[in-house]
Amino acid sequence: MNKTTRNLLALVLLSGAAVGVHFWQRGRAPEPRLLVPVETPHPTAPAAPKPSENYPIPAAQDAAPESLPTLSKSDPALWAGLSALVGPTSMKRLFYPNEMIRHIVVTIDNLPRETMAARLLPIKPAQGKFMVAASGKNMTIAPENAGRYMPYIRFADMVGTKRLVAVYIHFYPLFQRAYEDLGYPNGYFNNRLVAVIDHLLAAPEVEGPLALAQPHVLYTFADPALEARSAGQKILLRIGRENAVSIKAKLREIRSEVTAGAPVK
């Protein structure tokens, strides 16, 4: 198994650590629309303008576009490589097998938005139910709830950031293609990734238990300012302050690596 395959699990699980947690509500939030991907453009269509590469990704020496699978056919090879690394049982328990790169891209793109599509997350939700501590009419997120996300946090902590970003660079042409298919033909995915990381780093780190409300069936934050935060920032609030601090530290390392080249103004 080559370096790329060994480290792909790190890429997907890091996405899981940051975004692969189930909606805490006992219900379903409205899901953003995913555009239908088009694998092969019409040969007579005019070429789209080259996206502005404010944070350019260098070409990986071992990942010329012609050496990569097509986006629509990338799942079997990735699934087989990951199964060889962690075993088929763990793969079935942790991962969804279809459209992995597309789901990572759409999830990252949705993090700064009001809602996310649970059905498009690249990995399965954390085990167990969302845990609430109640005292009379007062409800807070139970401290024990943070433990549900520890498998993702521990894995993110032990993954070498340079190796993780090397995987991202290797597969970057497929990430870029998935981003264009999502509806951004003139967009550059690494620019979006950096912007989303910055957005997540701006999430507040609140001391003490977070108060909840339940106006109907769904739980919400009792503090309107917290409830008004984006889907991604509310995920960092839900997983617990210590877990969020750990994820933010990893995100800062990743940001440093994916912006190593001088930004193009």
- The predicted-structure confidence for 82-91, as pLDDT tens digits, reads as follows 565 556 776 6
Task: Tell me, yes or no, whether 13 lies in a domain.
Answer: yes
The beta strand positions in 124-244, using DSSP E, are 132-135, 138-141, 211-213, 220-221
**What would the mean pLDDT of 56-63 be, rounded to a whole number?**
69
CA dihedral angle for residue 219, residue 222, residue 225, residue 229, rounded to 10 degrees? -20
Separation CA 13–CA 247 (nearest Å): 12
Which candidate, 154, 160, 100, places its Cα nearest to that of 124? 100
Taking residues 33-40, what's their average pLDDT? 40
Domain membership flag for residue 225: no
Residue 136 lies in a domain: no
Q: Which residue has the higher pLDDT, 77 or 30?
A: 77
Give the count of domains, the chain: 1
Residue 153 has pLDDT above 90, yes or no: no
Highest mean pLDDT among 23-37, 106-120, 185-199: 185-199
36 within a domain of the structure (yes/no): no
pLDDT above 90: residue 212: yes
- Within-domain flag for 96: yes
Q: Which of 173, 184, 163 is nearest to 68 (CA)?
A: 173
Burial of 207 (0-12, 13-18, 19+ CB in 10 A): exposed
Domain hosting residue 11, numbered range: 3-27+55-128+146-204+239-258
pLDDT: which is higher, 224 or 33: 224
- Count of beta carbons in the 10 Å neighbourhood of residue 241: 16
Strand partners, 229: none
Whether 248 maps to a domain, the answer reads yes
Q: pTM (2 decimals)? A: 0.79
pLDDT at res. 61: 52
The pLDDT of residue 12 is above 90: no
Tell me which amino acid residue 246 is.
S
Whether residue 134 lies inside any domain: the answer is no
Closest residue by Cα to residue 219 from 22, 31, 33: 22
Structural domain contains residue 185: yes
pLDDT value, residue 244: 95
